[in-house]
Chains A and B, each alone.
Chain A
């Protein structure tokens, strides 16, 4: 983990608005189709329900990079730089040959945004939000994504918030621990399929006890050149 020299200055406009989707989503007895419908409803309702942010914060890029090195899955470094590029929608140019491309073909002139990087941004942003904005102790956040990859049944994150610091977010003053969280990062539009998949995973985990699931969506808002984050509460 290295300290990013020179790139840590906060850039004006790199703010995040975090909204909490008002109704808790009950997944207990819902089928796959119903969960997909639920995900579509969430996407339709977000512009109407999410006007006042639960939290508005500017991202400290050096701290975001620390969260990246510690709490995200893939070996992608300099998420602080990438966060700027992704937020602004700025793509790196490629060299273009002097001759014209053959008929029907086109040269690649700009790099495309990588899903791996947007995933990293989502995970880092979630950890950053919990630590820097909500005051959750670093030691209380468990990242179990590698276990998930190895086909174990686990969520992306476990949060053992023993002081109930997330009560405002969860909407309850007392809840069983740990909180189970799924994180999804989006560069383009919100994808109902991916949200429904997060619901399905949490449904399998919260069936037995009355655990609370959180789905954290980190979505780029290209028009406002920033990131929006949405927290969906999932219950049995």
Chain B
């Protein structure tokens, strides 16, 4: 049994990404499929490997405290190192175990988040009910969610490609088409930050790798949400094409 820790790290990050986006169902799917792939028996073995080292660490800390050892941290690590070598325990198995424990923790957290989002809070009335983040998918497969705050729209997006450098992207073209002034704050190979100032829109965009955060302001109107969705999709499209 030799698990790929890299695969687990990727699964944890993907789960966290989906929680950040507000897509709890997708996050749950990732965790469940990963745990299913590992199998119940191996989960227990890996968890035990991590817990065994943890128990040993606690025991050593207790001994260090009792004996008044001065450099406690170094002493505990040295003793632990000896113990691992003697018992031929592979510490990397323990790291994999910790990743599995993280996944199990995420599964529990998603359960709580889903439960909370399905319950109505006591202070919520028909008028002040907080809308949940709705996850949208555009025609290019980019996923994004919107949150209406008191003064702006908070948009989070996960792109299916990395953000392009600004000179290669269509952002400048978009700003001309929209008649908006583009102020580039910073641009790099995989990150860019810019602001768009238009007559009917303001958007600050932070793109890093495949993650985008947009803070957007539009004038209040009946079809405000549709306007925001349209503009968000235009920005996301311009960022990767």
Residues of A within 8 A of B (CB): 1-3, 5, 8-10, 31-32, 58, 60, 62-63, 66-67, 70, 131-133, 135, 137-142, 144, 147, 150-155, 158, 160, 162, 177-178, 196-197, 200-201, 203-205, 207-209, 211
Contacts and interface: CB of A to CB of B under 8 A. Distances in A.
B84 A144 contact: no
Given A3-B215, A160-B6, A177-B6, A203 B81 contact: yes
Interface stretch (B34-42, B88-96, B131-139): B88-96
A60 B73 CA distance: 36
Contacts of A204: 77, 80-81, 84, 91
Interface residues of B, number: 54
B20 A1 contact: yes
Interface in B64-121: 71, 73-74, 77-78, 80-81, 84-85, 90-92, 94-95, 97-99, 101-102
A8 B14 CA distance: 27
Interface of B: 5-6, 8-10, 12-14, 16-17, 20, 50, 53-54, 57-58, 61, 71, 73-74, 77-78, 80-81, 84-85, 90-92, 94-95, 97-99, 101-102, 154, 156, 185-186, 188-191, 193, 204, 206, 208-211, 213-215
B189 A142 contact: no
Nearest to A196: B74
B168 to A, nearest CB: 15
A131 B9 CA distance: 15
5 contacts: A63-B188, A140-B9, A142-B99, A154-B95, A155-B95
Contacts of B14: 139
Contacts of A203: 77, 81
A43 to B, nearest CB: 18
B57 A151 contact: yes
Given A142-B99, A144-B98, A204-B81, A63 B186 contact: yes
The listed residue with most B CB atoms (<10 A of its CB), out of A31, A135, A140, A200, is A200
Contacts of B214: 3
A10 B13 contact: no
A201 B77 contact: yes
A60 B57 contact: no
B204 A8 contact: yes
B91 A3 contact: no
A153 B80 contact: yes
